[in-house]
Structure 1
Amino acid sequence: MSSGPKITFIGAGSVVFTKNLLGDILTFPELAGCTISLYDIDPERLETAEQMARWTAQTLGASPTIEAHLDRREALRGASYAINMIQVGGHAATLLDFDIPRKYGLRQTIGDSHGIGGIFRALRTIPVMREIARDMEEVCPGAIMLNYTNPMSMLCWAWFASSRIPIVGLCHSVQYTTEQISGYAGVPYDEVTYLGAGINHVAWILRFEHKGRDIYPLLRKALEDGRIPQDDLVRAELFRRLGYYVTESSEHNAEYSAHFIPHPGQIEKFNVPIDEYIRRSEENLQEFADIRAQLQRGEPFEIERSAEYGSLIIHSMETGQPRVIYGNVRNDNLITNLPTGCCVEVPCLVDKNGVQPTHIGDLPPQLAGMSRQHVAVQELTARAALQGSREHVYHAAMLDPLAAATMPLDQIWAMVDELIAAHGDALPEGIRS
């Protein structure tokens, strides 16, 4: 008999992420008797996720009720929390997102959050997200959606506009970035305090202190001394020019800007890993096969607490223990020089009252400007998906900084047409007709 909330994993076949989140959740005694409901469209992946869940529970000495469902509504029925980690179209769709733009001269690194790859990942994911939202409204109307699926801002914006179910988008880029730059500055991470805000993957560390002392000067010294690692040169250059460190990673930020990939010599100078996500996607396929075989052999896995916020939100909402996390939420006067209604990433207090975003005010104008160019693309993409507007797909692609720096408008239109034709029925009907 369950003695805690029901937590539904949507896309549970992402078994590594499922393992990490399960380990985080079941480590808390107050959650060890919860119901874990696993859902996936792939029977083999679902079976593997269930095996992983039972192994994790047994290893941690927890006693959750574990369910596995191929029916999403049944998986969600009565849930208090839904955790979304789907990837619509999988590896095959990812290849289209890279291969077709490459024909037009547009090179990408990750292609899952911003830019042309982000636009088309959003267009095939938003219809599924809307179906999930409708299911939740009917079978678990009191639940909250914790979304890990990219493109974060576009998906959350579409959700804000079309569902009354609360949603918070979760990422690890703020916590990973602050840990990284603490190392660059040579200060212990557990003694650092910081404030970040912006949009997902383009949020900015606005305050960065060690025992009340500004440590940005130490970070600038590390930059001047050439102590920034070779895999973080893009963000270091943006820091040099803008005065603040941006979140996520250099491979992501290289494709978010017009200043690196399109220009001769910049890929080599800033060590930009073109097509990186294709390699990662191929590795993920092999990793799943290896994990499935390892489970079937009865071999153990390492369990350690991750940096993800999901379990912390659930624990705080269940117990009342207050915590601060960084969440992607609707901009209701939170960042005052970004548009109302867009998706922003800000500190949020979490307790029994839920996820409560904090007011930031204005970003420094150069940072707001960097964010706004992506916000425009996000709005047009969300509108394209919700309204079935092919025209807004063209408009979103036209305003993407990397596409605009790479090709003229007629080629952008032709590239969009080819991507729409290739993705076909995965896109909203009005867009493909």
Structure 2
Amino acid sequence: MTVITFLGAGSVVFTRELLADILSFAELREVTLSLHDIDPERLETAEAIARRTAEQLGAKPVITASLDRRASLDGADFVINAIQVGMHAATVKDFEIPAKYGLRQTIADTLGVGGIFRALRTFPVLDGIARDMLEICPDAWLLNYTNPMAMNIDYLAAAQPRLKAVGLCHSVFWTVHDLGNLLGVPHQEIDYTGAGVNHQAWLLRFEHNGESLYPRLDELLEREPELRRRVRMDMYRRLGYFPTETSEHSSEYLPWYLHLDDEIERLRIPVGDYLRISAGNVEEYHATRASLRAGEPLDVSRDATEYAPQVIHSMVTGQLRRIHGNVANHDLISNLPSGYAVEVPCVVDHLGVRPERVGALPPQCAALNRSFVSVGQLTVAAAIENDPRKIRQAAMVDPNTAATLSVDAIWDLCNELVAAHRELLPTALRVTV
């Protein structure tokens, strides 16, 4: 029987969606679902969601829940990772402390000082997960959803290269889906290829019936000026390829926008947006828990299937699928640094996840990706080499941070964030320098 372990199962909304997708496949309706979280109340809620979802869908999985990660990994074939180290409290620090220095962020989970420190407090837990998996379930696949995606996948490749891991993100899919809605073209009729790095990949191919959809998008943007008031529409018009992450995300990976009041107004950039989202996630957790206690049915209807259930189904059944995944760059994108995590098309079946070679990105796209990658490389190096100076160097080369703050302010900001997150960081990095 297939065993699927959920790490961070207490992320209840995401867990509910994944469970609904998994149990909707006829071949996966009797799998074993092994739930793990470090919070007893959230774990209890996740187990209740799993049982309610199975009941509503008429599925008969075996469901277990444990606060012991190693017990949850026993016998696992697939391990879905959706942890958030530090939870909402850490997110608040990632926004409030930089804001004191005048540094604006929107999501702060991928790049910039928010992404750097989220990575640094996640790496020790990832290392423990990888070590446990290699000992307890060495043939299992780690399906990672935890951000910062590229840094986490790069860290795992460096720290535990024997682990079978792929990073899964829905940004390419939903970018194509939403552009299709704008243009009146059903998603299933669009042929597309995205490549780059997670949250800053590019639609290299975007076609319908063999013809590029970009001219139609150009015409739409000419007709509707309000559509141009978004960061990634602005990026597309200047760079020629559409970026595959939201404008909120994209704005903080670049040096052009967030430090300028006029650009924030022109492009309607919601500064600090993830504070609202994170607080909303906490509220939704409590609402879901109350709904379960009241015996109300869960919403198990799904418009689309997340990647992890598709990957699991393809590996179990052999059904061939093509997704976009995050893997180490071993001759996949020729003009990005070798080894660092890239997002490329991948084929999935009985044999696992097999990334496709893309070749060279358009030079303007690769140039932006390389600045993105530099931040991640230095952050991973800080953890692997136990070098606290590299934390500060990562922040110094971050495009948005460098465009906003002096080097002395960047140094002071990093020292303050180290102090704020001290107990969650690797021991060697808990120092001010």
Q: 1: CA distance between counterparts of 2:347 and 2:215?
A: 29
Q: 2: CA distance between counterparts of 1:82 and 1:30?
A: 18
1:227 is displaced (CA, Å) by 6.0
User: Are 1:272 and 2:269 counterparts?
Assistant: yes
> Which runs of 5 or more structure 2 residues have no equivalent in the other structure?
none
Q: Quick one: which amino acid aligns to residue 42 of structure 1? A: D
Q: Which of residues 199, 203, 217 in structure 1 aligns to 2:197?
A: 199
1:310 is displaced (CA, Å) by 0.4
- Any idea what SS the aligned residue of 1:196 has? strand
Q: 1: CA distance between counterparts of 2:129 and 2:376?
A: 20
Q: Quick one: which amino acid aligns to residue 336 of structure 1? A: S
Q: Summarize deviations over 1:43-72 as a string: whole Å, max 9, x none.
A: 000000000000111111111100000000
User: Are 1:144 and 2:167 counterparts?
Assistant: no
**1:323 paired residue number:** 321
Q: Which of residues 348, 353, 358 in structure 1 aligns to 2:351?
A: 353
**1:174 paired residue number:** 172
**1:394 paired residue number:** 392
User: Are 1:292 and 2:305 counterparts?
Assistant: no
User: Are 1:70 and 2:67 counterparts?
Assistant: yes
**2:26 paired residue number:** 29
**2:16 paired residue number:** 19
Larger deviation: 220-229 or 47-56? 220-229
Larger deviation: 83-92 or 257-266? 257-266
**2:410 paired residue number:** 412
**Contact 1:100-1:415 within 8 A present in 2 as well:** yes
Q: Quick one: which amino acid aligns to residue 273 of structure 1? A: P
Q: 1: CA distance between counterparts of 2:58 and 2:256?
A: 52
User: Are 1:87 and 2:84 counterparts?
Assistant: yes
RMSD, aligned CA = 1.0
Q: 2: CA distance between counterparts of 1:195 and 1:180?
A: 15
1:215 is displaced (CA, Å) by 1.1
User: Are 1:303 and 2:300 counterparts?
Assistant: yes
Larger deviation: 183-192 or 318-327? 183-192
- Any idea what SS the aligned residue of 2:104 has? coil
* Percent of matched pairs sharing the same residue: 53
Question: CA 1:228–1:30 in structure 2 vs 1: closer, same or farther (change >3 Å)?
Answer: farther
Q: Which of residues 77, 84, 102 in structure 1 aligns to 2:99?
A: 102
What is the 5 A alignment of 1:143-292? 143-163=140-160, 164-226=162-224, 229=227, 233-292=230-289
1:191 is displaced (CA, Å) by 1.2
User: Are 1:113 and 2:110 counterparts?
Assistant: yes
Q: Which of residues 42, 50, 54 in structure 2 aligns to 1:53?
A: 50
**Contact 1:228-1:236 within 8 A present in 2 as well:** no
1:184 is displaced (CA, Å) by 2.4
- Any idea what SS the aligned residue of 1:74 has? helix
User: Are 1:380 and 2:365 counterparts?
Assistant: no
1:211 is displaced (CA, Å) by 0.8
**2:122 paired residue number:** 125
Q: Count residues with an aligned counterpart.
A: 429
Q: 2: CA distance between counterparts of 1:170 and 1:304?
A: 21
Q: 1: CA distance between counterparts of 2:315 and 2:260?
A: 48
Q: 2: CA distance between counterparts of 1:241 and 1:49?
A: 45
Q: Quick one: which amino acid aligns to residue 370 of structure 1? A: L
**Contact 1:157-1:342 within 8 A present in 2 as well:** yes
**Contact 2:25-2:313 within 8 A present in 1 as well:** yes
**Contact 2:52-2:298 within 8 A present in 1 as well:** no
Q: Quick one: which amino acid aligns to residue 371 of structure 1? A: N
1:228 is displaced (CA, Å) by 5.9
**2:366 paired residue number:** 368
1:189 is displaced (CA, Å) by 2.1
**Contact 1:192-1:209 within 8 A present in 2 as well:** yes
